[in-house]
Amino acid sequence: MQIARLALIQKFPFYAPALWSLRLVEREQVPTAAVDRGGRLYYNPQFVARVLPKQVTGLLWHELEHLLRHHLERGDTLELLDVHEQRLWNIACDCAINDDAKAARLALPPGGLYPQRFGLEPGGLDEHYYWTLKQRLEPKYPQNHEDPPTQGQTEPSGQEAGGCTATGPRTPGMTHTHAPAEERQAWELPQDHSEYPALSPTDLNILRREVARAALEYHLGRGDLPLGVLRWAQAVGNPTVPWQHLLRHFVHRGVRLGAGRVRPSYERPHRRQGVYRDVILPGTYDLKPHVAVVLDTSGSVGEAMLGQALAEVDGILRWAKVEVTVLCVDAAVYTAQRVHRARQLRLQGGGGTDMRLGIEAALQLRPCPVAVVVLTDGLTPWPETPPGIPVIAGILGELPPDTPEYVWTIRIPEEF
């Protein structure tokens, strides 16, 4: 389990705060694995020893997602009255989590529960899965701790579990995070346990927000989070922060990465000129940070989008405190314009779209910009290799699926 924790942090670094705070508790009473409200993960050592190491990593991710997604607390709001409803909620949660496993490139132990097995659409919400299953599996299954059958199928065998392999005949095909209370009492520790004390709800909420913000930044840089993880991170980590703040953050970050550039000058003596008397050494002066804005003026960018793009140029000029050069680009690059207000721009274009040309032209500017901001509708090819300086893309509309990993992407919504 410790090795699985390290492997998961290496694969998804944004999980690190939660994984290091997770208490791993070895309990033979739990058939497979489970988490509680206090951030403690209970696991059966015999079960863990039977599965492959990469499947243990997948199991750890599965249980961590239960904790991060508030599944126990969300189950409370559904008022799960009996064992049958608790089982269905656990199945729904397992389906939602396991649906993301393939996108996350994680291997789960055999027998996992997936939406397709129950005729559910992939990418759905946990509560939607629950209510759909509840309607399909009425009348209620007897409260005898057995797994409810699915449509057109027999009961899953005792070797199937949602993300893990269960033990014993007719064991519910799921993890045991949402097992009935009388079952959880066999392995759950008290809140104030001396060796494994529970985390407070406040501490857990802080961890969730920290992980969510790190996951969003990871997604902006790489763009490969599973849908369910991204949906959760956007809801928790960025519920009120507008996209303008994200754009400002990345521009400032690009400026910081390029700060400290200097240029030699013989108009200013070198500070060690007194030491080297026979050689005249040039002094240096600091260069003001310079940002290039590649403005998409192709025919696919409407007047409303273009107006929003010009507003963002004004915003960069106002709060970034940098020199800004704007290049109007469609399928060609037009004259580079050094501006102090967006209204000074002479817009040119109206043809096809190729922002690669604009990025290449920005790299030829002197002094070289510390960052390139591309304002586009996203319907463009991108350079195959990173240009060597930060590239921030403000996408006017929906995010395209093929933005390169090196591009920091912010969606600028169309509802201007």
Three-state helix/strand/coil letters over 185-210? CCCCCCCCCCCCCCCCHHHHHHHHHH
Q: Which fold has domain 243-412?
A: Rossmann fold (3.40.50)
What are the backbone dihedrals phi and psi of residue 42, each rounded to the nearest 5 degrees, phi first? -95, 135
Task: Determine phi and psi for 353, rounding to 5 degrees.
Answer: -135, 125
- State which H helix or E strand residue 63 sits in: helix 53-68
b/e burial code for range 317-342 (CB count within 10 A of at least 16 → b) = beebebbbbbbbbbeebbeebebeeb
307 contact partners, CB below 8 Å, separation of at least 6: 416
- Contact indicator for 338, 324 with CB cutoff of 8 Å: yes
- CA–CA separation, 82 vs 141, rounded Å? 10
Domain with CATH 3.40.50 in the chain: 243-412
Q: What is the pLDDT of residue 178?
A: 63
pLDDT at 282: 72
Query: 272 Cβ partners below 8 Å, 6+ apart?
Result: 281
Q: Which residue has the tokens 């990993």?
A: 405
Contact 125, 83 (CB under 8 A): no
Rounded Cα distance, 202 and 1, in Å: 26
The amino acid that residue 244 corresponds to is Q
233, 219 in Cβ contact below 8 A?
A: yes
Measured CA to CA in angstroms, residue 224 lies from 7, 127, 216, 260, 404 at distances of 18, 24, 10, 33, 10
The Cβ-side half-sphere exposure at 184, using a 13 Å CA radius, reads 19
Distances (CA, A) of 185 to 43, 116, 179: 14, 32, 10
What is the pLDDT at residue 147? 44
**Are the beta carbons of 246 and 216 closer than 8 angstroms?**
no
What is the chain's pLDDT, residue by residue, as a tens digit (416 residues)?
999 999 999 999 999 999 999 999 999 888 889 899 899 999 999 999 999 999 999 999 999 999 999 888 888 877 776 788 888 888 999 999 998 988 888 999 888 888 988 888 888 888 888 888 888 776 444 444 344 443 333 333 333 333 333 233 233 345 666 666 666 677 888 888 889 999 888 788 888 888 988 898 888 776 678 888 988 888 776 544 455 666 666 676 666 655 555 556 666 666 666 555 667 777 654 556 778 889 988 888 877 777 767 777 777 776 666 778 889 998 899 888 887 777 777 888 888 889 999 999 999 988 788 888 898 888 889 998 888 888 888 888 777 777 888 888 888 775 43
Q: What is the dihedral of CA 337, 339, 342, 346, to 10 degrees?
A: -30
Supply φ then ψ for residue 116, to 5 degrees: -60, -30
Alpha-carbon distance values, 346 to 32, 56, 309, 331, 353 (Å):
66, 59, 14, 17, 18
